[in-house]
């Protein structure tokens, strides 16, 4: 590579090397500072020292690999390293990580140190060459192509040509047809949940029906529809759960400033969708003094005493309220489905 350099002046490039423009002037490419020799180029002791440093790094890396094997064999997985406030760590993992990571790092660091301090340090110019094929090769290729065209009879045998074009034109059709598997279209499923008039409200996980007296003022219940388990089992997925989960909260009737519908509470018990209207995180961070419900994902905050309106954060819509009442047996039930779609906005909702 050093053949590109002017002999006798290593690394000292003429600052005006370049091509001539239309007017025949020499264009300066870039100014270059004069080459500076490194300490290791001039002082053999410095070079020797750098060599020792690089060798030390490589040697330490080898030692760390040995330490890795020793740690792997000797340290049991039930030994823990207690660092007080920082935490308790499995000693084995800490040692394996430190030794192996250190070994890899030292090989890299040694190589870089070697390259910077000891390997040849010369500036050079790598000239750019034209990338195009020469005219002769191009003409020959065109000739080959035309010969092939004539020999295949592609121009004369029109039936073959047309059927081939037809076949190739139809070839992508399966790719388009298969797009159907992205569906079916959601239909009304984004606007409806399995809540309906008379649907029992049960506690989530434990599936207990709830009497109004079970919820004290200030209470919170994570709840779901009574038929959810059945529906989930039949459909084999959790889509309905993702839409239908609710929270029940109770406040004194005087604390309720407004609701999404007249009499949608039951003696101060309010039911709201648990799905944030921003991007659909489940929310139950309910502060019963302020009646605020906070979404942990992006800090959208809803005031459940005031129609579930957004009081803070990126959510664009209020939290849908579920109208509730009690059935003949005295258990809480829904009076209807939600009156607006639950969860985040979607394309067709506008």
The binding site for other proteins (CB under 8 A) comprises 36, 38-40, 77, 80, 86-90, 93-94, 97, 112, 116-117, 121, 203-206, 208, 210-211, 213-216, 218-222, 249, 282-290, 292, 294, 296, 299, 301, 312
Write down the least CB distance from residue 163 to other proteins, Å: 57
Residue by residue, what is the 3-state secondary structure of 145-186? HHHHHHHHCCCCCHHHHHHHHHHHHHCCHHHHHHHHHHCCCC
- State the nearest-atom distance from the C-beta of 305 to other proteins, in Å: 13
Asked if 245 and 324 count as a contact pair (C-beta separation under 8 A), the reply is no
Tally Cβ neighbours within 10 Å of residue 350: 5
12 versus 299: smaller Cβ distance to other proteins: 299
Give the angle 238-241-246 at the CA atoms, nearest 5°. Answer: 165
Nearer to other proteins, 203 or 325 (CB): 203
Least distance from C-beta 7 to other proteins, angstroms? 25
> ∠ CA 203-206-207 to the nearest 5 degrees?
55
Measured distance CA(246)–CA(221) in Å, rounded: 9
Place of tokens 């340090």: 121
Residue among 43 and 235 whose Cβ is closer to other proteins: 43
Least separation in angstroms between residue 202's CB and other proteins is: 10
Smallest gap from Cβ 290 to other proteins, in A, equals 7
Give CA separation, 145 vs 1, 27, 135, 138, in Å.
40, 43, 15, 11
Question: For other proteins, which is the closer residue by CB, 274 or 317?
Answer: 274
DSSP characters for 263-293? T-SBTTEEEEESB-TTT--B--EEETTTTEE
Q: Which is nearer to other proteins, 211 or 349 (CB)?
A: 211
Contacts for 87 with CB less than 8 Å, ≥ 6 apart: none
State which residue, 90 or 345, has the beta carbon closest to other proteins: 90
Quote the least distance from Cβ 275 to other proteins, whole Å.
13
d(CA 269, CA 264) in angstroms, rounded, equals 9
**Shortest distance (Å) from residue 304 CB to other proteins:** 11
Question: Is the Cβ of residue 219 or residue 314 nearer to other proteins in the bound state?
Answer: 219
Residue among 7 and 34 whose Cβ is closer to other proteins? 34
Residue 350 per-residue DSSP state: -
Other C-beta atoms closer than 10 Å to the C-beta of 333 total: 22
Separation between Cα atoms, residue 264 and residue 307, nearest integer Å: 10
Nearer to other proteins, 33 or 175 (CB): 33
- CA distances in angstroms from 3 to 51, 212, 217, listed in the order given: 28, 92, 89
Burial of 188 per CB tally in 10 Å (0-12, 13-18, 19+)? exposed
Indicate the residue among 191 and 292 with the shorter CB distance to other proteins: 292
Structure tokens at 83: 């660092």
């Amino acid at each position: 590579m050093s053949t590109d350099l002017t002999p006798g002046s290593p690394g000292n490039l003429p600052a005006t090397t370049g091509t001539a423009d239309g007017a025949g002037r020499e264009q300066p490419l870039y100014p270059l500072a004069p080459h500076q020799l490194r300490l290791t180029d001039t002082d053999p002791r410095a070079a020797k020292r750098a060599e020792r440093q690089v060798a030390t790094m490589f040697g330490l890396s080898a030692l760390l690999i040995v330490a890795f094997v020793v740690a792997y064999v000797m340290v049991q997985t039930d030994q823990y390293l207690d660092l007080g406030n920082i935490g308790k760590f499995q000693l084995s993992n800490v040692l394996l990580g430190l030794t192996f990571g250190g070994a890899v790092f030292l090989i890299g660091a040694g190589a870089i140190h070697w390259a910077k301090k000891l390997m040849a340090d010369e500036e050079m110019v790598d000239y750019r060459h034209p990338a195009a094929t020469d005219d002769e090769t191009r003409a020959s290729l065109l000739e080959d192509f035309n010969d092939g065209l004539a020999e295949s009879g592609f121009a004369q045998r029109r039936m073959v040509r047309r059927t081939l074009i037809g076949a190739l034109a139809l070839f992508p059709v399966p790719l388009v047809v298969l797009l159907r598997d992205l569906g079916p279209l959601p239909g009304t499923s984004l606007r409806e949940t399995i809540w309906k008039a008379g649907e029992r409200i049960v506690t989530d996980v434990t599936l207990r029906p709830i009497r109004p007296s079970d919820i004290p003022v200030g209470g919170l219940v994570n709840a779901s529809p009574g038929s959810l388990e059945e529906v989930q089992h039949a459909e084999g997925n959790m889509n309905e759960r993702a839409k239908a989960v609710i929270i029940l909260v109770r406040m004194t009737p005087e604390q309720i400033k407004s609701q999404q519908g007249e009499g949608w509470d039951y003696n101060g018990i309010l039911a709201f969708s648990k799905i944030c209207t921003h991007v659909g995180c489940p929310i139950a961070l309910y502060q019963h003094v302020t009646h605020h419900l906070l979404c942990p994902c992006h800090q959208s905050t809803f005031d459940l005493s005031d129609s579930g309106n957004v009081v803070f954060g990126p959510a664009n819509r209020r939290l849908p309220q579920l109208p509730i009442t009690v059935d003949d047996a005295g258990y809480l039930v829904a009076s209807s489905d939600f009156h607006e779609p639950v969860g985040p906005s979607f394309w067709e909702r506008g």
